[in-house]
Amino acid sequence: MSYAGFRGVLLLAFLMFGSALLLLGCGGGDKPVTYAYYDFSEAVIVNYIDGEGNKGYVSLKLTVELPDAGLVTIGTMSQRIRHATVLYLKNMDPVQLTNYIANDQEALAEGIKDAIGEETKQENLGINRILFRDFVMQ
């Protein structure tokens, strides 16, 4: 066999091997993302005074949904996350907070997620969603 013929056979073998790898999934195809959930055991409680001088409080229990790989990181930063949540809720106007609770819980969750990102100086730790397990406002 000549050198050119050998080179052609070798090239053909590489192409066939590469195609087989792609067909078998070694080419990095789409894999489903699995999510983990981190439950904060203690409720976040924030006192407030509305515009009329009435006192009240908000108590909520959070669950954080994130890709499975981020679970360890969330656990080590749980106190900073609680802190960010308390500050975010404390700085909200009670009327605005009531409106969020009544009409747009997703916006409230997004605000908490952004506050966590600012506090931890990381891009939301990969947090997908903030879920409310228990929500009381009195």
Under the phi-then-psi rule, with left for phi > 0, alpha for psi from -120 to 50, and beta for the rest, what region is 53?
left
Which of the residues in the chain have pLDDT under 50? 9-15, 18, 20-23, 27, 124
pLDDT for position 12: 47
CATH architecture observed for domain 35-137: 2-Layer Sandwich (3.30)
pTM value is 0.66
Domain locations along the chain:
1-31, 35-137
pLDDT for position 23: 47
pLDDT for position 135: 83
pLDDT for position 22: 46
pLDDT for position 108: 87
